[in-house]
Amino acid sequence: MRIVTYNVRGFRDGRERVAAVVRGLHPDVLLLQESGPRRDLRRFAQDVGMRAAHDPWSPFRRRVKNAVLLADPWRFISVELVRFHGAPRWYPRGALIARVSAGDDDVRAVSTHFGLGGAERASQADSLLALAAPSAGEAVIVGGDLNATPDMRAVRRISATLTDVWPGAGHGSGPTFPAVAPAARIDYVFVGGQLQVIHARVATDDASNASDHLPVSVDLRLRGEAEGVDQDLVRERRPGFRKS
């Protein structure tokens, strides 16, 4: 099973460039941040031959532009957007949480994007863990742009509960930003539960001009035997508030 997380900067550097990078990586599950207009995301999903789930329609609030895309044979079982508290009104943050399956395998896949302030990110890490901490026997994958390096509070808090795949399966420091001259690792994949990490890499081939971030590609093995939902099943809630 291959997971890719990628901040695509709203496809502002060219949807076709991002598609070429993704096709070269052959992900089973693609976790996007800054996923752009819904129309562009739908076209991108067609470009790469995947199915996409994104934030639900919310006419009175700015969008949280995280997305999850799946390749065959993976299918969506459920999808939910959670908005994080404390983010600036004009820059909302959150997590798109998809339960996905293939055959007998069932995985919770989360795409997230944290804020720019240290206290904001630490609070968002706590909210994320409340949503993504694995229960017994469950496989969880979290991918995203955390706007934080591994020594910062938000990353340390998540790493205390979920496994940051890079230290055990990557090589070097794994910088992902900025794409043209990578100097900082701020894009991550974390896993928990019934998963074994095989290999992790930052994809640099032809990616420096597709976005301001580089994608992270991770090969995993489900501990079981590894080999959907339509967008109208997506719902949204805010931590501490009733579902809407």
Per-residue pLDDT of the chain (244 residues; tens, 9 = 90+): 999 999 999 999 999 999 999 999 999 999 999 999 999 999 999 999 999 999 887 777 788 999 999 999 999 999 999 999 877 777 899 999 999 999 888 999 999 999 999 999 999 999 999 988 777 678 999 999 999 999 999 999 999 999 999 999 999 999 999 999 999 999 999 999 889 999 999 998 888 899 999 999 999 998 654 444 444 445 554 443 333 2
For the domain made up of 2-237, give the CATH fold: Deoxyribonuclease I; Chain A (3.60.10)
What is the gyration radius of the CA atoms in the chain, in angstroms? Answer: 16
CA–CA separation, 222 and 7 (whole Å): 25
161: three-class secondary structure by DSSP: coil
232 token code pair: 């109208």
- Of the candidates 77, 95, 76, which has an alpha carbon nearest to the alpha carbon of residue 85? 95
Q: Residue 98: which H helix or E strand, with range?
A: strand 94-102
The residue extents of the domains of the chain are: 2-237
